Structure 1
Amino acid sequence: MGHFPLVCALICILFKPLSASVSGRILAEGGAPVAFPQIENLQNQSWVTGDNWGYFYLSGDSLTGQRIAIHRIGFLSDTISISDETSRLIIHLKSAPISFSAVAFEGKKPRTAAAIRIFSIAPQNFSVKDNSRSIMHYLPGITLKQYGGPGSISTLSMDGGNSQNLTIVYGAVALNSLRNGSVDFSQLPFTASHEIEYLPVALSGEPQNGADGVLRLSAAESPTQIQMSFGSYGHRAISASMRMPLTQSHISLSGGYREDTGNYLYQRWRDKQWIERRNNNYQQRFIALNGGGICTKNFWWRLTALGTEQNRGVPGLSWAMLDTTSFREDRLLLLGVESGWLTRFGDGKIAVSTRQNKEYYENRNYFIYADSEEGIREFSLNHRFPIWKKMQPHISYSRLAGSLLSGATGKKSELRQKSSASIRVLLGEDLSWMPQIIAESIADSQWSASWQSELQGRFFDERLYLLLLAGENRRHPTLNDRYWQPGGNPNLKPELTRSLQLWAQYEPQSGASLFLQIFSKQSKNLIQWVPQAAYWAPANIRQVSRRGLKSGAAFSANQNTVFRFSYSFLETKDLALKKPLRYAPTHQLRVHGIFSWRMLTLKSDLFYQSSRIFMYNYPEDILDAGMTTVDTELAWNNSGRHTERTLSCVVTNLFNNRYESVLGYPEPGREWRMTLTIKKKG
C-alpha cells in the first residue's frame, strides 16, 4: 500500500490532456543521421529544425491530415502526410551532393530497411524484461560478462575484445570509467533509454571512439506512460515517464523503483549438489530528465540528466565460503548539454557534460572496506565547413578532466585532449571517401597521432550499400593500471589496434534486407594484469589477432510478421600463448521472431553461444560448455480513446538451462515476469 498514493498521483499527472505531438528522425540512405534537417508544415507554414542526430518534434492541436516537407542541403526533399495513427516517423532522404537547392517530391514512400552503419534497436523490439542480455539478441558480436544474479556487475564487449575497447555513451555523456575503463550496465535503467545504436566507428567530429566501436543509448524521447511489473525471484518494479511538448521543443521526465530478492538454486561444481545462492538482493532508484528543441531557425539544444542509486548484495564465487553479509552501494549522476547551429558558414555543435560515480564495497569475511569517488568533466566542439561542393572539411576538439579518490590509488587526476580533422570527398553521386587524422594526449605524455579512412557508396539501383573502414585506435592505461597499490605501473604504453572492416547491406525487395561484415583487428601492447611475487601488476605483454565475420537477414512480410537472423564467427589468438582469447566465443547464433494477430503479439528469441576458455592452464585450460537460451513473450494490446494498454508475460531461459557468463558466477535458471503498461496516445 505504500506505493498506492504515488501511483494515483502519477496517473493523474501523466494522463492530463496535452497537445498532440509527432516525433521522428531523418536518416540518410546508409543509416547515418542527417544533421539539422528542416521540417516544414505546409498547412500553417510553421517549421522546426532537427538536431545533429536527425531527431525532430512537432506539436499542435491537430496534426492529422497535415503535410510536412523535409529539406536539407545535400539531399533531395521529401513530402509526407500525417495520419491519425502517426506518432513516430523514420524518414530516409536520398543524397543529392551536386545540387544544393531543395526539390519537393510528392507521395514518396520512405525507405524502412535497417541501417548498415548504425545498428538500431527500437523499444518495441525489446521484451519488457530489459537487461544487458537483451542486447545480445540484437547486436551481432556482443559478449556479456555478468557476475550472476539481478544486481551483479554487467559489462559488454565486442568482437572478443576487452570491455574497455567498446565506448558507451548515454545521450551526450560518455560512460566509460577513467578508473577501470569499463561501464557497469546494471547502473542504467533501460526504461530511461529510448533507443540503442551501435556504430562500428564514431561519426566524424564525435570525441567518443573505441577500437571496437560506439554503443549509444539515446534518451531523446520518453513516452507518457506508467509501467508496473512483478515476477520470479522476488521481482517488483514501477516506473513512469511524462513527455511534455512545448513550443518548438519538449521535456521528458521519468523515474522508477525496482527491487529483486534474487536468490536462486545452482549446482555446486565439486559435489553436484543443488544449493541456494543467497545475498543476491538488488534495489534501484532512478530519475531522468531529457529535453530538446530549437532556439531559433538555425540553433538547437538538448539536455540529458540521469541519477541512479543501487544497493546490492555480493554473493561472491560459488566455490568460496557462503557470504551473506557483503554488499555494495553505488550512485551515478550525470548531466550533459548540447547546442548546435546551422548557418551559411556550416554546421556544428558544442557540448559540455559532467559525471560523478560513487561506490562503496564491504566484505567482512576478508576485512575489505573499499570506497571510491570518480568525477569527470568534458567539453567538445566540432564544425563542418561547406567550402566546396564536393569536399566537406570537418574539425573537432575535446577536453576531458577527471579525478579519482580511492583507497587503492589515493587522490589522482587526469587531463585528456583530442583533436581531429577530416574531409569528406564526394567521388560521385553515390560514392564518397573520408580520411581523418586524430591527435590526442593524456596527462603529461606527448601527443600521439592515429588515423581512420572510410569509403562508402550505393550500387545496383541503390539496393547494395558498401562501407569500407580502415584505421588505428589507441587505448590509454586506466588510473587503476597506473596507480593501483601495490602493483600500479605508470610506464605502461597505450594499446594500439589496427583494423580493416568491410560492411555490406543488400535490399532485394521491400521489407527484406541482408547484411555481411568481414573484419580483421590486430592489437599490440595489450595491458594485462599478471601475477608477481606477492600481488598482481599490469604489463604490456600481449599481441592479439582477431578476425571474423557477421551475417544476418531481416524479413517482414507485413506489420504482423517480423523475422531476424544473425550469425557471428570469431577467430581470436593470443600470439604469445598461441591460444584463443579468454571469454571470446567462436560462434554466436540469434533468431528473433515477432508474430501479431489482432490484439495478441508473440515474440520469441533463440540465442546460442559456443564454448569459451575461462582460464588458462590450471593445470589444463578451463572451458565452459556453451549456452543456448530461449526467451518468449506473449502480450495483449488494447487501444482506447486516450491510452494504449499492454499486458505481457515474459519467460526467459524457457528450458531452464544452466550456464555461467563468468567462471564461478552461475546465472539463474528460468525466470518469468508480468508487466502492465499504460501509455498515453499522441
Structure 2
Amino acid sequence: MKKTLVLLLSSSAYFLCLGQEKAIDTVYIFDNQMKKVKLFHKVNTITPQDVEKNSTNLSELLRFQSPVYIKENGRGAVSSPSFRGTTAQQTAFVWNGININSNFLGQGDVNNIPLFGYDHLEVKAGGGSVIYGSGAIGGSIHLNNSLDFNNGFKASLYSEAGSFNTFTNFGQASYSNDKFSFKVSGNHSISQNDYEVEEKNYLNRNGKYYNSTFNVGASYKIAQHQTISWQSQFFDSAQNYPIFVENGNRTKYETQSIRSLISWDINKNKFSNSLKAAYTEENFQYFGNYNAPKTSGSSGKNYIFKNDFNYFIVPKLNINVITEFQVNKGEGYQPYIQGVKAEGIGDVSRNVGSVAGLLRYFPTKDLRFEAGVKKDFVQDISSPLLYSFSGKWNALQWYSVGINVSRNFRFPTFNDLYWNPGGNPDLKPENSYQMDMDHEFKLGEFKLMVSPYYLNISDDIVWLPTAAGYWSPVNIGKVQSYGLESQISFEKQFREHHFRFNLGYTLSKSINKATEKQMMYVPLHKVFGNFDYQYKFIKFYVQGMFNGLTYTTTDEKREDALDPYFVLNTGISATLLKKYTLGFKINNLTNTVYETVSYYPMPKRNYSISATINF
C-alpha cells in the first residue's frame, strides 16, 4: 500500500493525510521551516548522489538540475543566478535556515559557495521574505544539513579526476547512537582550467581555481524532548580571472567564509520551539596583479539570534511566531594610492530585527491554508510590512492545486549605502508583489507540475553614472516578470530495472518597464532534463539543457545576444561488492560551443573518472 506522510512542525507532531502512520528514525533538521514550506510550495530536492553528476561546481549543478539560469564568466569564475527573470540580488541563498547573501553585494557568488557536504540541496521558486528575509524575491536556494540517530558508524570517500587537470576529493564520516549524533566532511577541488575553444579563438588563460570546505555537525538529546545541535562550515577559495591575451594583466580573487550555528530545540505534541544563535563571516581580497599585494577587500561579520515557536491551538489550527535579531558589521580595505584614499568602504555596522507570525489551518486532510505577516526593523531604513498567503487543495486523487501570494523585499547593501564615492544612504528597499499557482497532475507513475507566475518589482536599485564622474545607486527600476514553470517526472521499479526521469521547462518574460524590453541575461526559454537507469550494480544517466536566445544589452540588440544552445552530459558507474563504485562521465557530449556570459565560452567536450568507497 502506498503511504503518504506529511510531517508538520516537529518530529513528534504531524498532520497525516492519505495514509498511515509510519515509524522512522529520529532525524534532526537544522532548517526546521523547510518541512512546513513543502506543505504549500513546490520544492525541488537535489540529493548528494545527484550532486556527483555535476561535481565541477554549484553553477553546473543548478544549470542542469534546476530552472535557474546561471551566468558564469567562464568555468569556475564569477557566477550569479537569475530566478524567474529576477537579478542575482533577488535570489536568496539559505544555509540551514540562515540567509547568507553577502552584506556587501547582496547576492551569493555561486562558485564561491561550497557544492559538497550537504544532506539536501533544495530549490524553491517564488517569494519567501516572510520566512527567509531580504532577497527572497524570485526564489531561494537552500543548503541544508541533518543529523540522524541510531545509525552507528558510516563513512565514504569520493575522488574524481577530469580534463584540464581538474581534481576533486570529498570525504565524510558520521556516528550516531540513541542520544548522540556526529558528522564531519571535507572537500578539496583544484583545476588548471586551461580549456580551449578553437571556434572562438579562445584559450582560458589564467583560469586556475581551487576551493576547500570543512563541515562539522553534532547533536545531543539532553532530555526526552530536548536537543542541542551544532553545525559549522569553513570555506577557502581562490579564482584567477581569465585574460584574453598572453601578456595581459593577471588578477585573482580570494575569499574565506565561516558559518556556525547552535540550536536548542524542544519538541512536544502541542508545541515546539527552536532557539538559534549563529555567526557568519565573509572575507575577500582582490589582487590587481597576481603576485602583488591586494588592492581591495572587505570583511563582514554577522551575529544572529533567532527563535521559532510553534503551537497547536487545536489539532487543526497552528500558530508560528518567528523573531530574529542581527548585528551586521563590515570593514573595507582602502589603501592610500599616491596619498589619496582608494575607493571602497570604511567601518560600517547596522542592527536588523524582525517579527513574523504565521497561522496554518487544516480543515480537512485534503485542504490546508497558511497566512503570514512580517515586520522588519532595519537601522536607518524604512521597511515595508510583508505578508504571504498560501493554500493547497487535493481536489481529486489525480489533481491538486495551490496558490501563493506574497509581498517581498530586499534592503540596500553596504555597497549601496556606504561605498565611497557614490553610496546613497537615502535608498529605499526593493519591493515585490508576486503570485503563482501550482497545478499538479498524477497519472500512474507520472507527475506533471504546471506553475504560472507573476511578479511586479518596484524601487529596483540601479547604479547609474553621475555628473561627477562616478557611479551611484538610485531607486528607479520597475520590472514586470511573468511566465510558466513546468516539470514532468516519472519513476518506476520493474524487477531489477529502475527508471527515473524528469523534464523541466521555464518561460520567463521579464520586462524593464522603462524600456519595455526583456531584461539582460534572462532567457525566454529554458529546458532541462535528467534520465537515470539502474540495472543491478550498473547505473547510467543522461542529462540535457537547452537555453534559448538571451539578450545581453538593454535594447535587445540581436547581434550582441547569446545564441540558443543545447548541451548533453552522460555518465555510467558500476558498484562492486556493495562498497566500491567506479564512474566515467562525458560532459558536453554534443561538443557545443556556447557562452553564458558574452566573451567567455564554456568548455567543449571533456571527461572525468571517479571512484567511491563506502565504509
Given the two structures, how large is their TM-score scaled by the length of structure 2?
0.88
Alignment-derived partner of residue 162 in structure 2: 231
Contact preservation (8 Å) 2:130, 2:374: no
Correspondence for 1:457 among 366, 390, 393: 393
Among 229, 233, 236, the residue aligned to 1:309: 236
Question: Paired residue for 1:627?
Answer: 565
What residue in structure 2 maps to residue 496 of structure 1? 431
- Structure 2: distance between partners of 1:679 and 1:290: 20
Q: Provide the C-alpha distance between the structure 1 equivalents of 2:603 and 2:39, rounded to a whole number of angstroms.
A: 33
Write out aligned runs for 1:220-259 (5 A). 220=146, 224-259=155-190
Aligned-partner Cα distance in 2 for 1:148–1:205: 34
**What per-residue deviation string (whole Å, max 9, x for no partner) do you get for residues 337-375 of structure 1?**
222212365112111111111111111399981111111
One-letter amino acid of the counterpart of residue 405, structure 2: A
Q: Distance in 2 between matches of 1:199 and 1:379?
A: 24
1:426 aligns with 2:357: no
* Aligned position for 2:274: 349
Q: Is the 8 A contact 1:116 1:504 kept in 2?
A: no
- 2:8 is equivalent to residue 34 of structure 1: yes
Q: Which residue does the alignment assign to 2:609?
A: 674
User: Which amino acid is 2:580 matched to?
Assistant: R
Aligned to 1:582: 520
How far 1:28 sits from its partner (Å)?
4.7
Distance 1:233 1:375 in 2: 36
Deviation digits for residues 504-524 of structure 1 (CA, Å, limit 9, x no counterpart): 222222x32111111000111
Q: Flag the 1:494–1:629 CA change in 2: closer, same or farther, 3 A.
A: same
Shift of 1:81: 9.4
Cα separation, 1, equivalents of 2:480 and 2:78: 28
Q: 2:192 aligns with which of 261, 268, 273?
A: 261
- For the residue of structure 2 that corresponds to 1:658, the secondary structure is coil
Match of 2:253? Answer: 328
Structure-2 change in CA distance of 1:221 and 1:265 (3 Å): farther
Find out whether 1:175 has 2:97 as its counterpart.
no
Of 343, 360, 376, which residue of structure 1 is paired with 2:302?
Answer: 376
Deviations 1:619-675 (A, max 9, x none): 8772111221101111111234xxx21111111111221222122322222221111
Cα 1:550–1:400 change in 2 (3 A) is: same
2:456 paired residue number: 522
Q: What's 2:50 paired with? A: 125
Distance of 1:324 and 1:601 partners within structure 2: 45
Q: CA deviation digits over 1:28-72, x for unaligned, max 9? A: 54xxx533224xxxxxxxxxxxxxxxxxxxxxxxxxxxxxxxx74
What pairs with 1:182-581 in structure 2 (closer than 5 Å)?
182-200=107-125, 201-202=127-128, 210-220=136-146, 224-266=155-197, 274-316=201-243, 318=244, 322-323=247-248, 325-343=250-268, 346-364=271-289, 369-406=295-332, 407=334, 408-461=344-397, 463-509=398-444, 511-533=445-467, 534-558=469-493, 560-581=498-519
Structure 2: how far apart are the matches of 1:345 and 1:672? 54
Distance 1:119 1:523, change over 3 A: same
Q: Aligned residues, how many?
A: 581
Distance in 1, matches of 2:252 and 2:381, equals 38
- Which residue of the partner structure matches residue 575 of structure 2? 637
Report the AA paired with residue 484 of structure 1. W
Inter-partner Cα distance in structure 2 for 1:232 and 1:429: 52
Change (3 A) 1:564 1:590: same
Q: Residue 677 of structure 1 aligns to which amino acid in structure 2?
A: T
Of 146, 150, 153, which aligns to 2:78?
153
**Deviation of 1:490 (Å):** 1.1
Contact 2:501 2:531 in 1 (8 A): yes
RMSD, aligned α-carbons = 2.9
For 1:663 and 1:532, how far apart are their aligned partners in 2?
Answer: 26
Tell me which of 21, 43, 49 is aligned to 1:78: 21
Secondary structure of 1:635 counterpart: strand
Alpha carbons of structure 1 residues 544 and 283: separation in structure 2 relative to 1, 3 Å? same
Q: 1:293 to 1:565 in 2, by over 3 A?
A: farther
Question: Residue 481 of structure 1: SS of its match in structure 2?
Answer: helix
Give yes or no for the alignment of 1:595 onto 2:520. Answer: no
| Contact 2:361–2:370 (CA under 8 A) maintained in structure 1 | yes
Query: Could you say if the C-alpha distance between residues 344 and 237 of structure 1 is closer, same or farther in structure 2, counting changes exceeding 3 Å?
Result: closer
Match of 2:65, SS state, is: coil
Distance change (3 Å), C-alpha of 1:535 and 1:447 = closer
Query: What SS does the corresponding residue of 2:102 show, helix, strand or coil?
Result: coil
Counterparts of 1:339 and 1:236 in 2: how far apart (Å)?
Answer: 39
| Identity fraction in percent | 17
Supply the AA of the counterpart residue of 1:247: D
Q: Could you say which residue in structure 2 is the equivalent of 1:19?
A: none
CA displacement, residues 101-135 of structure 1 (integer Å, 9 cap, x when unaligned): xxxxxxxxxxxx99963221112233444222222
Change (3 A) 1:344 1:241: closer
Cα drift, residue 209 of structure 1: 6.7
1-structure distance, mates of 2:279, 2:166: 32
Identify the range of structure 1 (424-433 vs 276-285) with the bigger mean alpha-carbon deviation.
Answer: 424-433
Shift of 1:535: 2.2
The 2-side partners of 1:413 and 1:263 are apart by 41
Q: Any runs of at least 4 consecutive aligned residues in structure 1 with deviations exceeding 6 A, and if so which?
A: 73-76, 365-368, 618-621
Task: Point out where structure 2 has 5 or more consecutive residues left out of the alignment.
Answer: 30-37, 149-153, 335-343
Mean Cα deviation higher: 621-630 or 372-381: 621-630
CA distance in 2, matches of 1:662, 1:563: 29
Aligned partner of residue 192 in structure 1, secondary structure? coil
Distance 1:74 1:451, change over 3 A: same
Q: Which runs of 5+ in 1 are unaligned?
A: 1-25, 39-70, 91-112
Following the alignment from structure 2 to structure 1, what is the Cα–Cα distance between the partners of residues 537 and 174? Answer: 26
Indicate if the aligned counterparts of 1:594 and 1:602 stay in contact, CA closer than 8 A.
yes
Contact 2:155–2:172, Cα closer than 8 Å, also in 1: yes
5 Å matches for 1:21-170?
A: 28-29=5-6, 33-38=7-12, 72=14, 78-79=21-22, 117-130=42-55, 131=57, 132-140=59-67, 142-150=68-76, 152-170=77-95
Kept in 2: contact 1:205–1:395 (CA 8 A): no
CA contact (8 A) 2:129 2:409 kept: no
Equivalent of 1:605, from 543, 552, 573?
Answer: 543
The alignment partner of 1:385 has SS state of strand
